[in-house]
């Protein structure tokens, strides 16, 4: 099944209502932020569209290093070279941005990412 441009655009515009797009913005990974970890070389914190760990909402300040212990993802190998990212920059790996084009291929790229060897915490 292929997603239409309209459906892709609607994924992230919830307009304040409890809609599927609110779910997408809160629970689906927007980007992976690299963090230092004493035991894991490739430690990342998956963040939602509000730049907080998945499932959380903006409001209180979130310590990313602290959140890593409950929401972290540890890759067996460096994930930066994977062909799943929409954009990479400054220790961040994005799965989508504000463009419809990035969301049209989001689920296919997320599937490829989830098939990689990762350890999820939390």
Using one digit for the tens of pLDDT, what is the confidence trace for 37-88? Answer: 999 999 999 999 999 999 998 888 999 999 999 999 999 889 998 999 999 9
> Which of 103, 6, 7, 110 lies closest to 54 in space, CA to CA?
110
- The whole-number pLDDT of residue 18 equals 45
Residue with tokens 């993802």: 73
Q: How many CB atoms lie within 10 A of CB 21?
A: 17
In this prediction the pTM is 0.86
CA distances from 1 to 58, 82, 100 (A): 33, 24, 17
- The whole-number pLDDT of residue 51 equals 95
Instruction: Tell me the percentage of the chain whose pLDDT exceeds 70.
Output: 88
């Amino acid at each position: 099944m292929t997603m239409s441009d309209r459906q892709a655009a609607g994924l992230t515009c919830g307009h304040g209502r409890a809609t599927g797009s609110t779910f997408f913005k809160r629970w689906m990974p927007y980007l992976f932020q690299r963090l230092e970890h004493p035991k894991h070389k490739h430690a990342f914190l998956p963040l939602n569209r509000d730049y907080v760990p998945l499932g959380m909402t903006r409001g209180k300040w979130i310590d990313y290093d602290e959140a890593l212990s409950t929401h972290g993802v540890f890759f067996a190998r460096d994930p930066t070279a994977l062909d799943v990212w929409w954009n990479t920059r400054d220790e961040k790996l994005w799965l989508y941005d504000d463009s419809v084009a990035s969301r049209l291929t989001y689920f296919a790229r997320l599937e490829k990412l989830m098939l990689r060897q990762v350890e999820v915490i939390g």
